[in-house]
Amino acid sequence: MSTKTLLISSVLFGLLLSVAAVQCFADASTQFKQADGYKQNKQYEQAEAIYQQIVTDFPDSNDALKAQKQLTLIYIATDRQPQSDAALQELLVNFSAHKDIAQAVHDIAYQYRLLKKYEKANQIDQYVVDNWPVSDYAVLGQMDLAKYYVDQGDAPNAESAFDKLLASFSNSPLIARAVHDVAQHYRWSGKYGKANQLYQYVIDNWPEAEHALWSQADLIKSYLALGDDPNAEDAVDKLLANFTDNPLIARVIWDTAQLYRDLKKYEKASQLYLYVIENWPKAEHAMWSQADLIKSYLALGDDPNAQAAADKLLADFNDSPLIARAVWDTAQLYRSLKKYDKANRLYQHVVENWPKPEHAMWAQADLIKSYLALGDDPNAEAAVDKLLADFNDSPLIARAVWDTARLYLGLKKYEKAGQLYQHVIDDYPQAEHAILSQIGAAKVNALSLIESGNDTAAQEAIDILIADFNDHPDLPEAVFVIGEQYYYKAFEDPNKCRKVKSQENLYKAKDIWERIAAQWPESKSIGLKHAQYFSAVCYRRLGQYEKAITYYQQVVDNWPDYQYVWSAQYLIGNCYEKLKDFGSLPESEASLKMEQAYKAVVEGYPDCAMVPTASLKLGHLNLKRGQKVEAVQYFVLFLTTARPNDPRITSVETHLEKLKGEVQ
């Protein structure tokens, strides 16, 4: 073979190797994209197969390390402990010298930590600290160990872990962040003194670090949480004096102002907002400070300064990319305060000046809400027409029209609600809110029939609604709302729901709600929760206390986070009291049940509105049994939890004075 031929062959062979390498890399990249997609969608079996293939096809490569880590994470996520242990061991053996091994192992520890498998997380983080002590991930591992012990309230181990963090990693570029993060966990655990020591340590030792700025800001939060306004004020002054050149300072001062406003310290919040506006007028947070200054003035009842601040927002920040959102958000506040004219001017300003952004569409939709709140149906109608005409191409228009239909439905303007639901069905049939509008339209039909007194047709409409959408998760709530129509019709004043004028309508409401409980017993919908609670309410109103107790107990047992669970618990006791009063249950048995129910209120829901009454009843129950010490305790609890103007306070105080003399 000639030298020339040999040279050409060598070049071609090298080119083929290069192409093959590129092809392999491309294949791995494609495989990762596919596997990551499966993992994100929790299709773990498919993802696992691809990651395993990558490990096999590209041994000892960066891709193999990444795939082996992902395999371990999948086994952890699917709670396959033997496989995850084996996969981690394989990672440690095959990639012990890889430059990214410490990060990979720490990521695995973090996954265990997210799943609250702290023992395993701590073991692995300790391994990182011991085996790669100069790695950034050793710093993070030691930091996470310290945070864990702080969260657990294990002061000795927390101190030890933190001391090691400082001793071993004081020269790390991540040390300021690590100490600040540990301080955060002390603060979140309510250990403000210790948190403040660490914040100050960061400020004193690494004053140029970004986390010195955050530590100074978080010192303010700690002092305010302690109610220590003077030290908080001093910390604010240092923030303003020492960190003005930091690129994040405008954001941090705005964030501090937000904290003061949340605590209703509006004057201080306003000072800080103004400081941002005056010193960094071009910063994004200058605009947010201007918008939030309006909120502070409105909270103070200072309408003139609020108006001036709103005018300045429009004049000085007109070119900000987020101005439409800020003005819309300000309009929302005015509307929530029932200052509809001010709100409407701002909504219209958004629509007229920034017609393309998303918030222009929401401003137009919220104009409708304002006009309807004012009872201005003609302008509301015109605003609806403009919404449909000008924003028809918005990707969120179906949701906005559906939301408007719901508003009309809530106001019992059934014809308009039906028209808007139908508009969504006809014009946006592929939208998510199309099927919700079909349910809404069917609901409008049933409610209209009930309103007209055509109960037979209304029942048929409910049957059709359930048949057509039986599997939809929102259906229980829709059916509950239909039952509400009968419930409100049962009372002389539907706004107060106190004096019953029609037991027949209570029965009709109850029958619909019991149908929800029977039809969808496994639902997590608020509709089922409401149905069980208000079925009990109906039975109690009808004097059927045993059945009421059954439903109230279901609410307490099944829905501990339900908004009226505390009421259900109290009313169980009330129903037993009624059974005793009517002679349906022996007094001894009823009193025991009452005591159990009212104790559950006091102990299980200590912040609820019925604690004073439950305490009072427990006091009388104990007094009747001659248990005067316990009676005194409950009467005292009543006095500490009752509203200052509660008319029962005087008699309880008198009673209590007499009892205290007897028990001493």
Asked whether residue 465 is assigned to any structural domain, the reply reads no
Q: 29: pLDDT confidence band, cut at 50, 70 and 90?
A: confident
Burial class (CB in 10 A: 0-12, 13-18, 19+), 490: buried
Asked whether residue 535 is assigned to any structural domain, the reply reads no
Q: Tens digits of per-residue pLDDT, 219-264?
A: 999 999 999 999 999 999 999 999 999 999 999 999 999 999 999 9
The label of the residue with tokens 């400020």 reads 203
Q: 664: pLDDT confidence band, cut at 50, 70 and 90?
A: low
pLDDT above 50: residue 600: yes
Asked whether residue 178 is assigned to any structural domain, the reply reads no
Q: Are 580 and 609 in contact (CB under 8 A)?
A: no
Between the ranges 204-208, 355-359, 652-656, where is the mean pLDDT highest?
A: 204-208
Asked whether residue 275 is assigned to any structural domain, the reply reads yes
Distance in angstroms (rounded) separating the CA atoms of residues 198 and 180: 7
Asked whether residue 165 is assigned to any structural domain, the reply reads no
**Rounded to 5 degrees, what are φ and ψ at 500?**
-75, 135
Asked whether residue 614 is assigned to any structural domain, the reply reads no
Q: 469: pLDDT confidence band, cut at 50, 70 and 90?
A: very high
Q: Tens digits of per-residue pLDDT, 385-406?
A: 999 999 999 999 999 999 999 9
- As a whole number, mean pLDDT of residues 58-87 equals 94
Contacts of 543 (CB under 8 A, 6+ apart): 578
Segment among 35-39, 213-217, 324-328, 413-417 with least mean pLDDT: 35-39
Burial class (CB in 10 A: 0-12, 13-18, 19+), 426: exposed
Domain of residue 263, CATH code = 1.25.40
pLDDT above 60: residue 1: no
Mean residue pLDDT across the chain: 94
- As a whole number, mean pLDDT of residues 395-418 equals 97
- As a whole number, mean pLDDT of residues 359-382 equals 98
- As a whole number, mean pLDDT of residues 28-45 equals 90
CA atoms within 13 A on the CB side of 627: 11
pLDDT of residue 495: 84
The label of the residue with tokens 């306003």 reads 270
- As a whole number, mean pLDDT of residues 314-331 equals 96
pLDDT of residue 27: 60
| Count of domains for the chain | 1
Q: Are 70 and 47 in contact (CB under 8 A)?
A: yes
Residue 541 C-alpha from the chain's centroid: 35
**Rounded to 5 degrees, what are φ and ψ at 491?**
-110, 150
Whole-number percent of the chain with pLDDT over 90: 91
pLDDT of residue 661: 74
Asked whether residue 286 is assigned to any structural domain, the reply reads yes
Burial class (CB in 10 A: 0-12, 13-18, 19+), 84: buried
Give the domain range for residue 294.
Answer: 247-320
Segment among 14-18, 593-597, 632-636 with least mean pLDDT: 14-18
Q: 621: pLDDT confidence band, cut at 50, 70 and 90?
A: very high
Q: Tens digits of per-residue pLDDT, 304-320?
A: 999 999 999 999 999 99
Tally Cβ neighbours within 10 Å of residue 649. Answer: 15
**Helix axis angle, 284-299 relative to 303-316, nearest 10°?**
160
Contacts of 330 (CB under 8 A, 6+ apart): 291, 294, 295, 310, 313, 346
Asked whether residue 526 is assigned to any structural domain, the reply reads no
Distance in angstroms (rounded) separating the CA atoms of residues 572 and 548: 8
pLDDT of residue 656: 87
pLDDT above 70: residue 21: no
Q: Are 514 and 554 in contact (CB under 8 A)?
A: no
Whole-number percent of the chain with pLDDT over 70: 96
- As a whole number, mean pLDDT of residues 16-45 equals 71
**Amino acid identity, position 103:** Q
Paired with 500 in beta bridges are: 491
